[in-house]
């Protein structure tokens, strides 16, 4: 059995993915949920999806970029600031990488307009 959970928050022009998790990982639940959200977004005329991933989460950064998502911003020390409010956020994350920044990724659902 494969299970997963995706939560999104509508915003102007599309939606932000606020949670994506698969259990167990690696059985296709994450890909299927993202694909379903893309279908929903195109049906609703959304222009893009967006999400934040932490700098340590190299498996997720690989996962998204291989599925058409692109890096659009680095929010330096965003996690460091969050930690001041939530001291339970660990200092070290996946693979022993210091957990400090947030990376913003975007999935275009329609081509970007020329400037
Ligand atoms: C990232 C995540 C949502 C991907 O969903 P998934 O169902 O495991 O992924 P799928 O089975 O659809 O696809 C497998 C791909 O995920 C990658 N992957 C990422 N993390 C993985 C993990 N912990 N275990 C297995 N595969 C993982 C595989 O490398 C594979 O990539 P490829 O097909 O490009 O080679 C899921 O692994 C997960 O829940 N990770 C922990 C929570 C998390 O980091 N969420 C994202 C926060 S921004």
Asked whether residue 111 carries a pLDDT value surpassing 90, the answer given is no
CA of 27 to the centre of ligand 1 (A): 8
Structure tokens at 32: 């299927």
pTM of the model: 0.94
Mean predicted lDDT score pLDDT of the chain: 96
Query: What structural domains and CATH numbers belong to the chain?
Result: 3-108 (3.40.630.30)
Beta-carbon contacts of 111 under 8 Å, excluding residues fewer than 6 positions away, are none
Which ligand 1 atom is at minimum distance from the Cα of 21? Answer: 39
The DSSP line for 67-91 is TT-EEEEEETTHHHHHHHH-TTS-S
Nearest to 31 by CA among 80, 76, 73, 66: 66
pLDDT tens by residue, 24-39: 999 999 999 999 999 9
CA of 114 to the centre of ligand 1 (A): 33
Strand 48-54 with 14-23, pairing: parallel
Element (H, E) at 45: none
CA of 65 to the centre of ligand 1 (A): 12
């Amino acid at each position: 059995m494969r299970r997963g959970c995706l939560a999104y928050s509508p915003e102007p022009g599309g939606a932000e993915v606020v949670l994506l998790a698969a259990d167990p990982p690696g059985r296709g639940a994450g890909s299927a949920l993202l694909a379903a959200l893309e279908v929903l977004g195109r049906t609703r005329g959304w222009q893009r999806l967006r999400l934040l991933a932490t700098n340590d989460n190299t498996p997720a950064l690989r996962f998204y970029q291989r599925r058409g998502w692109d890096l659009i911003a680095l929010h330096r020390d965003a996690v460091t600031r969050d930690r001041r409010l939530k001291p339970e956020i660990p200092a070290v994350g996946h693979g022993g990488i210091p957990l400090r920044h947030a990376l913003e990724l975007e999935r275009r659902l329609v081509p970007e307009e020329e400037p």
